[in-house]
Structures are given as C-alpha cells and as structure tokens.
C-alpha cells in the first residue's frame, strides 16, 4: 500500500494551535497569518451580508468571570458572523463565593460539549488552568495582569493598516503597566514583529524587571513620547489613584494624562490608541481621544475582525471537522 | 506492619558494616551499633565487640547509618483538617522519609495555644503516629499576634517551642515581650519573618518571572527587613530566636552577622528552597507556590552555601499538606505550601551528590542541630541516646511519584523528580517503623 507523505503534499497549517492563551508562544508568521485573516474579516464585516459559515453548527460559550461589555460583545458578534451558536455566561464572584471552583464551573460547561470557550478571569493563569481541564478550544479574553492576546492582535491590525508594518516603528505604551494584561500582550507582539517598544509611567505602576521584557522604560511623558509613532494609552482604575499607587487623579493627569501638549512630543503623524474603556480626564483628554490622530473607534471595529480571525484559525483544529479524519 | 506488631519487637538489634555518620561526635566510619530497650547501647568502629543474647543482626555493608531526621517545621491537618493529613498519615510519611521526629505547627483548628491541646496532641500522636511528634505551641493566643501564651505551662505540657507558624508578628513590642519572657524558661521562639504589608497581594518572588506571568511579586525585603528587626529585638532581649525559614542571600548575611556577634540566633531553610527556584513555577503550577516563595538561582545557591558552612542551622521539609480544594485554583488564589516529609532527605542529599556540601554538614542540619536547638537527647549516634536511626542507601536512584507518597495530600513539587538516596529502614526508639519493600 502506498501512502502519500502528508508533510510533502499538504501545506503545514499556518496556525497550529488548539487554544489561543497568549501572544507568548506564537511565532511572527503565525501572528501575521492571523492579521491577514483579520483583513478578510474586515471586508466581510463591511458587507451587507456579514455571514460566513466556518463555525456553522458549532457552540461558542463566552465565559466571563469579570464584567466586560466590549470584549464580550465583540466575541459574540465575531462568533455569530461565523455562524456559531453563541452563549454568554457571566459568572460573577457569586458562584465562587458559593464554593464552586473555576474548575467545577469549567467541567460543568465542558459537559455541555461546547466547541469553543472564550474566557476572561481576574486571576493570571486561570485560562491556562481551565484549558488543561476541558476538551474544547479555549481563547483567552484576558487573565488577570497576564495576557489579553486578541487586544494585542487588534492593536497590531490597526497599526498595520495605518503604518504599513512594524519595523522602525516606535510604540510608547503609557500608564498603568503593572496591572495591565494589554501591555504585556502588546510588548510580546510588537517585539516579535520588530517594533521598538517603550513603557512610560510612574515607577509605582511599572513592574519589577520590566526591562527584561525588551522594552525601554521612561518615567516622564516628554522623553517617553519623543519621536513616537504610536502612543498607546492604558486605563487606570480609579481605586488605584487614591494614594495607593498615585496620589490623586489631578496629579496623575498633570504628569501622565495625554493631552494635546504632551502628544506634541511625539511625531507629528503619531497615532493615539486606547484599549478602552477610557477614563476621560484621567489618562486621556477628550480632545485627544476624539481628535484626528485618534484610532480608538477603529480599534473597536478591528476587534470584531481579529476575533473572527482567531475563531476561524482555531476552527481548523476543532474535532469532528467535516472531512477531517 | 501494624503498630502492635512493631511494639512487640523487643529483641536486641545489631547493625554491622554500615558507614556510621554522626556529626555530633565527628564519627564517620564503618562500624557497628547495638540497640536494646529503645536505646543505643554501644557504638563501635569495625565489628560489634560482642553480640547480645538473641540479637537480630542486620548486615548493612555499603549502607549509611544516620541519626533519624528531626524536622522542625511540619504542618499536620489534625485537628481540624484531617482530610489533608492526620498524625497517622504524617507519621507514615515521616517514617518512609527517614524522619523520626516531627515538630508540628500550631496553625490548626483549634489553634494549639492551650495546655489541654498540647496534651491532646501528645496523646493522639502517641496512639496513632509511627514517629515522635513534638508540638510547638502558639506564640500568641489564637495566632493573633497580640497576647503571648502560657510559655511556662505549655512547655511543661510538652511544647518544644513557640511559634505563630505561618503568621508573622508585626507588632515589635509583642515580639520583644515574648522573647524577654521566654528567656526565663529558656524557651525557643521560632518566627516566620515575612512583613505582611510588603508581601501585600504578592504570590511569588518579585522579579522577571512574576512580571512575565502577570503575578504580583513578593520583594525579598519583606523577609530581610523583618529578619533584621527580629535580630535587633533578639539582641535587646537576649532571648533564643530561630527564623523558621529564610530564602534570600541577603537574609543569610543578616544571620551571619548576628552569629558573629554571639547572639542566640539560628535559622532554617526548606529542602525545597535548596532544590528549586522561581523558574520552576513554570506555567502557574500551584504546587510551587510557597511561603516564603521560591527565589531566584542566586538565592538558592546562597542557601546551599549556608548549609555547607553551617551558617544555616537546620533543613526543614516545611511539610504542608494541601488538597485540591486549596490548590486547584488559579495561582494567585491557591494556598501556599507543599508536602515534603518523604523528599526531605533525598532533596538535601542532592547537595552531597553535587559536591556542594559534605554528608556531615547535611546530616548536621537535618538531625544534630535540630536536636540541639530543641534540647532533645536524640540527633546523635552514641551510647545512651534514643535509638532513632535510619539506614540509607545513599546511591540508590528513584523517581518521586506523587501517587506513591504516604501523605494523605499529594501536593509535591517533586513529581517526576529524580533522586539518589533512599531510606531502607527507620527505627524510632529501637522499633522498626519503616522498611523499604525492596530492601
């Protein structure tokens, strides 16, 4: 009996992962594959007929242990546009208080045979833990201060559509790096694609050994933003501005809030991004947020496209695929 | 073997041809030991001078005979969390690990801060545990860090020292009074130096690994600052102070300076901290979540140096049984702690096999020094001492399998680890409480 050697005939899968748990572990070609897929999704999303059938018959559960409007609705829309049946589950801290563990919740859901679980949890590593225990594909929609891979991917897609690529680009990530999963995923992704990444913030909001992640560190906006192509602002939660990490909102805004004056330190064609939700007047001035250099609304559109791309890429590895052995 | 069968053993026992290592007397030679009536009767280089009538002879050529290990930091689930560990299961784990005496921590439910409870442990352990169980009582009532317990009465009831276990005394005045009062009784105060404010929400060593994992870090200063404070209070009061566990190179410097000044200060390190570092946490493995946390490689190497030169007094297992209900959580929400009674000796022997410390210095830290600090007659191989002995094949390789551990909880950070050195037989008071099945 002769058999074709599959490694010679078949193209290796461009995205060979069952889960998307983080940017860590993805190769630059894999990241670019996702971005290319997302471009197609942008086109589909701008048509009247926004549907594709790659997930028809599949069940996607959005399991959010932490409240989120935009990420959850973005994943919901992405799943629906690909034809999946989408169920949203918001598990507050209540069932945890009842004594049910994360694993118990996951096993309960797993018994309902979902194909894809989209998970957000307030603890770093929670999504990894869950992925070990369930039989379906798992997408990390944010775990503690660890990773938020689809946010980094949508940021990258937005940047590429405006700047064409990543080499030579100077990206300044500003604000609360310490508690930010968005920052970590972006640092990993932008470094992988060759951008020059800076972190700017007060020292109380910069984690230890941050420089070991391959970024330049600044504690003032003027030098941190000098010649930057992209200024990425991070959300600062109000409970961290009462003297625990920074003394007050007004002091924070004075030194780190992005207004026109500080934006002028960056390149004239610099673009402003924010993962949302924004605290206007805390980390960003309304005039900048709504100004000509802002990409903030476009980021939301790219969010749906990137999530469609991720769902589609993972669908190639779902079990019981039509035509699969 | 049932306990009653073990108790029935009363014939004299002679172990011949073993390499006898007793750091207390400096003995490290091939010889014989005669055991009768629960005590070591004779120790001789070469063959035993004369065999007692009806003696059982164990030929132990090529094996090492060591004083049984004395583990100064063991958490047992009894009373209050028997599903994690009982005196019986901890005793079996200890016996299999060559630990002949365990010193239990008072962090139980109820807290061991009352004479009746010390008495309960003594009776319960005597009836169910295969090894010696010596309780440490709470340093402060309810482990609340405010009022000291009855050191005199608790000591008379059998408490071998006073500690708040996992808890640190933040109020310096409380520690000052406790160390001052303890001095009158010669009592040992054991403290876990870890400033809870600096620890904050931290769950692992602060540094690159924590930053990459997005986990809040615990700075080394949480340990160092409190240790420095404690040493000053020890100097002020003249009390006997023992740091339960240190984990940082800088803490070792603090201890060395204090010892140089002649203070009654001592410290311990866990075998886990001698064997592993923060990188072993890997992808959020909660069995590697410990307090103090695993530090980096430089700290680990410093701890080994401390054992080699004797500036760290004791190696403990810090045996802390945890079940899925406390460990199967996201890293930041899981409990601290790992079991260690059965891997204590093997993990410590890695230092010997790697040429990092002598066998004598490791045995000193596992048995001789704990006995000295606690004022026990054991921890030595000499005529008149209790026959708490272990026979060890120092070279025998084995692989740690969690499922085979005797402990009721299986939260070992050494799952799949390769070790050299296996306990063949454990004697407690002359009774054989463990015998390796392949021996």
What are the pLDDT digits (tens) for B193-231?
Answer: 999 999 999 999 999 999 999 999 999 999 999 999 999
Q: Which residue out of B330, B331, B332, B335 would a mutagenesis test of the A interface target, given it has the greatest number of A Cβ atoms within 10 Å?
A: B330
In terms of CA atoms, which chain A residue is nearest residue B206?
A208
Q: Is A147 on the interface with B (CB under 8 A)?
A: yes
Q: Is B208 on the interface with A (CB under 8 A)?
A: yes
Tokens of A252: 């924070």
Average pLDDT for B254-276:
98
Average pLDDT for A89-96:
67
Helix (H, G, I), strand (E, B) or coil at A201: coil
Q: Is A181 on the interface with B (CB under 8 A)?
A: yes
Tokens of B104: 């239990």
Examine residue A281 and say whether the peptide bond preceding it is cis (omega within 30 degrees of 0).
no
pLDDT at B63 over 90: yes
pLDDT at B48 over 80: no
In terms of CA atoms, which chain B residue is nearest residue A101?
B329
CA distance B192 to B169: 8
pLDDT at A325 over 70: no
Percent pLDDT > 70 in chain B is 97
Question: Taking all residues of chain A, what is their mean pLDDT, rounded to a whole number?
Answer: 91
Residue A207 to residue B217, Cβ atoms within 8 A: yes
Tokens of A60: 């996607």
pLDDT at B19 over 50: yes
B437 CB-near residues (< 8 Å, 6+ apart): none
State the pLDDT at residue A14.
Answer: 78
Of B214, B325, B328, the CB nearest to A124: B214
With tokens 């937005």, the residue in question is A158
Chain B nearest C-alpha distance from A102 (Å): 7
State the pLDDT at residue A93.
Answer: 54
Tokens of B424: 């063949």
Average pLDDT for B37-60:
89
Of A24, A123, A128, the CB nearest to B333: A123
A8-12, B77-81, B168-172: range with lowest mean pLDDT: A8-12
Tokens of B156: 């008379």
In A85-104, the residues whose Cβ lies within 8 Å of chain B are 101-103
Task: Give the relative orientation of helices B172-185 and B221-237 as an angle to the nearest 10 degrees.
Answer: 50
Q: Is A121 on the interface with B (CB under 8 A)?
A: yes
Which pTM does this prediction carry? 0.92
Chain B nearest C-alpha distance from A149 (Å): 13
Average pLDDT for B277-292:
96
State the pLDDT at residue A89.
Answer: 87
State the pLDDT at residue A298.
Answer: 96
A92-96, A114-118, B62-66, B365-369: range with lowest mean pLDDT: A92-96
Tokens of A23: 């940017």
pLDDT digit string (tens) for A289-317?
Answer: 999 999 999 999 999 999 999 999 999 88
State the pLDDT at residue B439.
Answer: 52
Residue B332 to residue A125, Cβ atoms within 8 A: yes
How many other CB atoms are found less than 10 A from the CB of residue A40? 14
State the pLDDT at residue A9.
Answer: 47
Separation of CA A144 from chain center: 13
pLDDT band at A6; cut points 50, 70, 90: very low
In A187-226, the residues whose Cβ lies within 8 Å of chain B are 207-210, 212-213
Residue of B389, B364, B240, B377 whose CA lies nearest to B311: B364
State the pLDDT at residue A12.
Answer: 54
Question: Taking all residues of chain B, what is their mean pLDDT, rounded to a whole number?
Answer: 95
Tokens of B413: 């950070």
CA distance B344 to B34: 27
Chain B nearest C-alpha distance from A146 (Å): 4
In terms of CA atoms, which chain A residue is nearest residue B326?
A101
Average pLDDT for A193-209:
97
pLDDT at B3 over 50: no
Q: Which residue out of A122, A123, A126, A179 would a mutagenesis test of the B interface target, given it has the greatest number of B Cβ atoms within 10 Å?
A: A123
State the pLDDT at residue A107.
Answer: 87
pLDDT at A320 over 90: no
Q: Which residue out of A124, A134, A152, A176 would a mutagenesis test of the B interface target, given it has the greatest number of B Cβ atoms within 10 Å?
A: A124
Average pLDDT for B97-111:
98
Task: Please state the ipTM of this predicted complex.
Answer: 0.89
CA distance B369 to A238: 53
Average pLDDT for B21-31:
97
Cα atoms in the 13 Å half-sphere on the side-chain side of B317: 36
State the pLDDT at residue B85.
Answer: 97
In A290-309, the residues whose Cβ lies within 8 Å of chain B are none
Residue of B85, B122, B120 whose CA lies nearest to B319: B85
In B319-348, the residues whose Cβ lies within 8 Å of chain A are 325, 328-333
Of A101, A144, A212, the CB nearest to B214: A144
State the pLDDT at residue B50.
Answer: 77
CA distance A161 to B285: 39
Chain B nearest C-alpha distance from A217 (Å): 14
Average pLDDT for A242-250:
87
Chain A nearest C-alpha distance from B295 (Å): 14
pLDDT band at A57; cut points 50, 70, 90: very high
């Amino acid at each position: 009996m002769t058999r074709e050697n599959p490694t010679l005939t078949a193209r290796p899968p461009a995205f060979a992962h069952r889960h998307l748990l983080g940017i860590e572990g993805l190769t630059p070609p894999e990241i670019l594959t996702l971005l290319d897929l997302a471009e197609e999704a942008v086109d589909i999303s701008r048509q009247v007929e926004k549907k594709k059938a790659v997930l028809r018959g599949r069940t996607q559960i959005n399991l959010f242990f932490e409240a989120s409007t935009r990420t959850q609705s973005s994943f919901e829309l992405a799943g629906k546009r690909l034809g999946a049946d989408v169920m949203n589950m918001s598990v507050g801290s209540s069932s945890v208080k009842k004594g049910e563990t994360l694993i118990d919740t996951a096993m309960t859901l797993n018994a309902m045979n979902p194909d894809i679980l989209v998970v957000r949890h307030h603890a770093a590593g929670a999504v990894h833990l869950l992925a070990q225990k369930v039989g379906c594909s798992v997408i990390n929609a944010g775990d503690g201060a660890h990773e938020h891979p689809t946010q980094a991917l949508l940021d990258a897609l937005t940047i590429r559509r405006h700047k064409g690529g990543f080499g030579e680009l100077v990206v300044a990530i500003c604000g609360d790096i310490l508690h930010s999963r968005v920052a970590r995923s972006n640092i990993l992704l932008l470094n992988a694609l060759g951008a020059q990444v800076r972190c700017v913030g007060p020292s109380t909001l910069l984690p230890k050994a941050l420089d070991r992640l391959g970024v330049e560190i600044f504690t003032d906006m003027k030098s941190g933003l000098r010649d930057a192509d992209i200024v990425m602002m991070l959300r600062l939660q109000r409970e961290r501005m009462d003297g625990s990490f920074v003394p007050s909102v007004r002091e924070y805004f004075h030194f780190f809030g992005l207004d026109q004056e500080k934006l002028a330190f960056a390149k004239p064609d610099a673009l402003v991004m924010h993962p949302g939700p924004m605290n206007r007047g805390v980390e960003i001035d309304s005039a900048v947020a709504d100004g000509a250099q802002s990409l903030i609304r476009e980021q939301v559109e790219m969010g749906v496209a990137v999530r469609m791309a991720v769902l589609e890429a993972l669908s190639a590895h779902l079990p019981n695929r039509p035509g699969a052995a | 073997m049932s306990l009653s069968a073990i108790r029935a053993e009363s014939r004299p026992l002679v172990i011949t041809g073993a390499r006898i290592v007793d750091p207390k007397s400096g003995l490290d030679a091939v010889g014989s030991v005669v055991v009768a009536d629960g005590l070591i009767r004779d120790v001789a280089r070469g063959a035993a001078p004369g065999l007692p009538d009806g003696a059982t002879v164990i030929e132990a050529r090529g094996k090492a005979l060591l004083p049984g290990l004395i583990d100064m930091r063991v958490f047992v689930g009894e009373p209050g969390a028997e599903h994690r560990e009982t005196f019986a299961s901890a005793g079996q784990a200890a016996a299999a690990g060559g630990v002949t005496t365990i010193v239990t921590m008072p962090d139980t439910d109820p807290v061991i801060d009352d004479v009746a409870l010390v008495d309960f442990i003594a009776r319960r352990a005597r009836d169910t545990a295969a090894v010696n169980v010596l309780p440490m009582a709470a340093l402060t009532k309810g482990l609340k860090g405010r009022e000291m317990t009855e050191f005199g009465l608790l000591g008379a009831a059998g408490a071998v020292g006073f500690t708040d276990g996992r808890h640190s005394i933040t109020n310096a005045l409380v520690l000052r009074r406790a160390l001052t009062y303890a001095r009158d009784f010669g009592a040992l105060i054991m403290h876990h130096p870890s400033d809870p404010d600096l620890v904050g929400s931290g769950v692992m060593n602060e540094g690159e690994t924590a930053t990459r994992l997005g986990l809040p870090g615990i700075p080394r200063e949480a340990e160092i600052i409190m240790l420095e404070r404690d040493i000053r209070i020890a100097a002020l009061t003249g009390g006997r102070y023992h740091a339960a566990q240190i984990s940082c190179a800088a803490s070792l410097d603090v201890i060395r300076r204090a010892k140089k000044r002649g203070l009654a200060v001592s410290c311990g390190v866990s075998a886990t901290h001698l064997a592993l570092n923060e990188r072993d946490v890997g992808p959020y493995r909660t069995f590697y979540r410990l307090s103090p946390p695993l530090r980096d490689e430089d700290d680990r190497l410093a701890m080994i140096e401390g054992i080699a030169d004797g500036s760290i007094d004791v190696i403990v297992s810090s045996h802390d049984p945890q079940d899925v209900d406390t460990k199967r959580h996201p890293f930041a929400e899981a409990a601290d702690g790992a079991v260690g009674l059965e891997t204590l000796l093997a993990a410590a022997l890695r230092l010997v096999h790697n040429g990092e410390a002598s066998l004598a210095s490791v045995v000193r830290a596992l048995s001789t020094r704990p006995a000295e600090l606690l004022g026990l007659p054991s921890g030595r191989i000499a005529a008149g001492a209790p026959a708490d002995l272990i026979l060890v094949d120092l070279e025998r390789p084995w692989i740690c399998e969690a499922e085979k551990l005797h402990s009721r909880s299986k939260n070992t950070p050494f799952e799949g680890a390769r070790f050299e050195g296996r306990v063949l037989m454990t004697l407690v008071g002359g009774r054989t409480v463990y015998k390796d099945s392949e021996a």
